[in-house]
Amino acid sequence: MTDETTPAAGAPGAAPSGPAADRSPAPLPEDLQPLHVPMLRIIEVGLAVWVVALLVTLLVPALHTGDRSWWPWTCVAGFLLGGLGWAYVRRGRGNASDAA
């Protein structure tokens, strides 16, 4: 029989026993700092990828004829929208620390 005032081993509220009971509490981790993300560089790489995709679709006839005639326009739209994003971030509204 166990005493009703002390919880049984393994029961909720029971004090840990064994090697875990001898350890002191772990120190608190340092405050996390946000990572610096170079947004302008990321957008510029994306713009370059859209330009390369446009050149590939224009140089390979199978990629811009027939049912795929809209593919070059998708690349143009991606480049233009990326340019708007680049201008937005460049002005300091998207990531003020990257604005020049």
Query: pTM (2 decimals)?
Result: 0.61
* Cα distance between the two ends of the chain: 75
Residues contacting residue 98 through CB under 8 Å, at least 6 positions apart: 38, 39, 40, 89
**Is residue 15 domain-resident?**
no
- Confirm if 91 and 99 have CB atoms less than 8 A apart: yes
How many Å apart are CA 32 and CA 68, to the nearest integer? Answer: 48
CA distance 90 to 99: 5
Q: Is residue 81 part of a domain?
A: yes
Asked if the structure places residue 66 within a domain, the reply is yes
CA angle centred on 84, ends 57 and 77, rounded to 5°: 25
Domain count, the chain: 1
> Distance between CA 71 and CA 61 in Å, rounded?
11
pLDDT at 84 over 80: yes
Give per-residue pLDDT as tens, 18-72.
565 567 787 878 888 888 889 999 999 999 999 999 999 999 999 999 999 999 9
pLDDT at 91: 85
Whether 2 is in a domain gets the answer: no
Residue 63 lies in a domain: yes
